[in-house]
């Protein structure tokens, strides 16, 4: 009755044209939401600040007898501030990959959704995935953001916003849970970035 989404990795993939580690760093991360209240996320910067891993311990949505309706939906808003030396690059989110474990009672449905947008932009890239009881067990989902018109501005400090949500629904008597925690290190979320010169 649970989908474990443990590890969130924001990975800066280096393509034919991409800023070098000396030109790029992750300056700051802030987060908030019903699924990631303050002090519930642990972060780790790696590989010369081109990769960040976030560990959640309270990202859990539940549904079932005796569980308040408000617990059936949880969200997390993450803002990442990139420091791009000389502001000579733009980037866009190209893909998202999710893996974990899923188990739901008959009739229950789990939904995971994600969106990204840049500070000051009215455009957003969005993707949703729905899981039903017939999809119990391990899963792996690859999402490609096709709209490459959503690019960051050409400036040194750029804010990337990632908004995710997990939700459980179903008829009376059904139950389920979506959890993001440190229980299983097999579960990951990763986001790839594409780059271009300004």
Whether the per-residue pLDDT at 135 is higher than 80: the answer is: no
- Quote the pLDDT of residue 4: 39
What is the average pLDDT value for the chain, to the nearest integer? 74
Per residue in 116-134, pLDDT (tens digit) is 888 877 677 777 888 887 7
The number of beta carbons lying within 10 Å of the beta carbon of residue 116 is 22
Give the residue, 38 or 26, on which the prediction is more confident: 38
Contact by Cβ (8 Å): 183, 6: yes
pLDDT recorded at residue 31: 92
Reading phi first (left if > 0) and then psi (alpha if -120 to 50, else beta), residue 64 is in left
Strands of 59-63's sheet, edge to edge?
A: 2-4, 176-180, 59-63
> Is pLDDT at 32 greater than 80 in this prediction?
yes
Global pTM value: 0.76
pLDDT cut 90: percent of the chain above it: 7
pLDDT in tens, 139-160: 777 777 765 668 888 888 889 8
- DSSP 8-class letter at 58: S
Return left, alpha or beta for 21; rule: phi > 0 is left, psi -120 to 50 is alpha, else beta: alpha
Q: pLDDT tens for residues 46-74?
A: 665 556 667 777 777 888 888 899 999 99
């Amino acid at each position: 009755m649970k989908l474990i989404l443990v590890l969130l990795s924001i990975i800066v993939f280096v393509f034919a044209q991409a800023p070098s580690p000396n030109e790029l760093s992750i300056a700051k991360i802030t987060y908030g939401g019903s699924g990631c209240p303050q002090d519930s996320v642990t972060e780790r910067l790696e590989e010369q600040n081109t990769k960040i891993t976030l560990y959640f311990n309270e990202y859990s949505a539940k549904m079932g007898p005796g569980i308040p309706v408000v617990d059936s939906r949880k969200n997390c808003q993450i803002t990442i501030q990139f420091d791009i030396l000389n502001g000579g690059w733009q980037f866009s989110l190209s893909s998202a990959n999710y893996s974990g474990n899923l188990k739901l009672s008959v009739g229950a449905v789990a939904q995971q959704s994600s969106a990204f947008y840049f500070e000051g932009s009215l455009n957003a890239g969005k993707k949703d995935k729905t899981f039903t009881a017939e999809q119990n067990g391990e899963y792996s989902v690859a999402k490609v953001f096709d709209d490459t018109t959503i690019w960051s501005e050409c400036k040194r400090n750029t804010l990337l916003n990632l908004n995710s949500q997990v939700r459980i629904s179903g008829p009376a008597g059904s139950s389920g849970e979506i959890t993001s925690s440190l229980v299983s290190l097999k579960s990951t979320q990763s986001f790839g970035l594409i780059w271009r010169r300004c």
